[in-house]
Every structure is written in C-alpha cells, then in structure tokens.
Amino acid sequence: MSIVIVKPLSLGPTESRLGYEKEGYTRVPGTTFNFHATNDRQGRPKHGLSYLVDNPKYDKTEAELAKEQGKDYTDRDGKRIPEKITKREELESRCQYNLANDSEFWHEFKVRLTEGNNVFDTTIPEDDIRYHMCKASDLVANSEMEFRQGKCPNAVFVIVNDDEELSLKEKERDERIEALDLFSKLNPDQKRQLCRIIGMGVSNQTDKFVSVTLGEFAENNYKKFLSFAKKPKERIQVESLLQEAVEANVVRIKDKRYFRGNPEEGMELGFDFTTAADFLANPKNTDIRQSLANEVSAKKNKRVE
C-alpha cells in the first residue's frame, strides 16, 4: 500500500456526515478536523503502530547461516536482528522521530482532514504515521463496511477500500434488482397489504395509485422494501389486517397496548404491534382472526353504502 485516500462518510448521494452535530462537535461544511493521537485507557497514545511487520534488515539466509554456526544473528553493533519488529520501530528506522509512547512527538504531531479526498503516501514516513493514526481514531472508519456494521458510530471519515466499495456497490445493485423483481410479482391486494404495513395511508386510494407509490418506494428505499416484502405471506396478511383493523377502529390502542374494541372491556391482543400480530398469527387464534377480518370488512361495506 502506498497511496491511501481518506474521505468524508456519505449519508446519501449529495450529503456527508460532515455538518452534523455529534459528540460535542459542531460540524459545518468546510470544517477541518485536526486531531492528535488520543490516549487509551492505559494512557498510551492511540497511534496504531504496535503491530508486527517484517524487519527490513532481516535476511533469512544469513539468519540460518548464523544459526548453523551457533552464532546470534546480529548487526555491526552486536545487536540481535529480529525477524519481526513493530511498525513503530520500522517507522523510526525511516525517519528521525522518537515514536515511543512517552515521546513528546505525540503531543505535537497531528492529522488534518478536510472535505474531499485526503491523500496519504505511505512511502513518506509522516504520511504513514498519519494513515495509522486515522486507522486508530474514532473519527475514521477503517472501511465503509465497518461503519455500516456499527463498529465506529462516531466516524465522519472513511478509509477508502476500492475492492470493498466495488463489493458494496455490487450488493446494492443486486438488492435493488431483487426489490424491483419482487415488486413486479405482487398482485394489487399484496401491494396494498405491503403499503399498509410499511405505513403508507392508501386505504381509500386506487390500485394504480397504490402501485405507483409502492413502486417508487421499492426503487428509492429498496433495503426497507425488502425487509417487509421478504416476510412470509401469511405474516404480511396478518400485519395488514391488524393495521386495517386499527384504521377501522375495530382494534384500539391504549398505552401502546392493542385491544379488540373498547380498551376497558375488550380483549387484549398484545402489548405492542408485534405481539398483537403474533397473537393473531397463532393457529389457535384462527377463529379470532377471521372474526376480526369479518368485522373490518363489514365496516368497510357500511362506509361504501
């Protein structure tokens, strides 16, 4: 790795996480982030240089020859040459800085990140140090995947990983295609049921309006669409019925609890939407579910008359 790019995390096509208040920072467009290597719980600077790397001074052939001769493999000063050294030691061999944990260097050296691409050339010791400080900082996600997995909630920048970005784009493309494919296979009733459980008020709308509205949602919010559309059909039907029953005032909500009819006298279906839907989905409660569906249907017919 020689060229590393650190860029602002994206919220969408045109927005980044820059410009949003979080963790005591006031972030506005054009903000420059300057940070030092903060200390960990043991008081050591978080510079990210503690891992082992190959020692550039180590020669395997010479090391084996010394071993055969019963000698230590050492340099001109008689100091043993290890096969592995820390990244900190490797960097110290390339620059004039003292990078020990207690060095004043860590109080003075800082990373500066701005909007746009921040480019670091790791063949330059100072840039290599900045890159590792970014990797160790809470402000910078090591990858977009890591950020999406919630491993770095305070991050506003991300280290670009081309292979990972391509994989993410490919996954997003496949999910978008899957969402539109699922949408195309839905009949009008299924589209209406999905709209209802997603939270779109379409009870009094035409089938064409429902189809266009859900289609736009599937295209623009394909991940959320898939989270609903991939539920079992029976579950979608039950959740749709429950939502429709609430809209028809057949089921009422009090303190988040779901009741059939008057909360003071009616049957409690569940302490929230999910448990109420679980209750209706239980095969033992098929009669109750059918009775509820009949009552909703009767109310709808009465409104039509």
Q: Is residue 85 over pLDDT 60? A: yes
Residues 59-82: tens digit of each pLDDT: 889 888 888 888 888 888 888 888
Tens digits of residue pLDDT in 213-237: 999 999 999 999 999 999 999 999 9
pLDDT confidence tier of residue 27, bands split at 50, 70 and 90: very low
Instruction: State the pLDDT at residue 14.
Output: 40
User: What's residue 203's pLDDT?
Assistant: 76
- Nearest Cα neighbor of 144 from 155, 134, 133, 136 is 155
Please give the model's pTM, rounded to 2 decimal places: 0.52
What is the average per-residue pLDDT within 173-180? 91
Q: What is the pLDDT of residues 105-162, one digit of tens each?
A: 999 999 999 888 899 998 999 999 999 999 999 889 988 878 888 888 888 899 987 6
Banded model confidence at residue 29, pLDDT cuts 50, 70, 90: low
Q: Which pLDDT value is given to residue 195? A: 93
Note the pLDDT tens digit of each residue in 247-288: 888 899 998 899 998 888 888 899 999 999 999 999 999 999
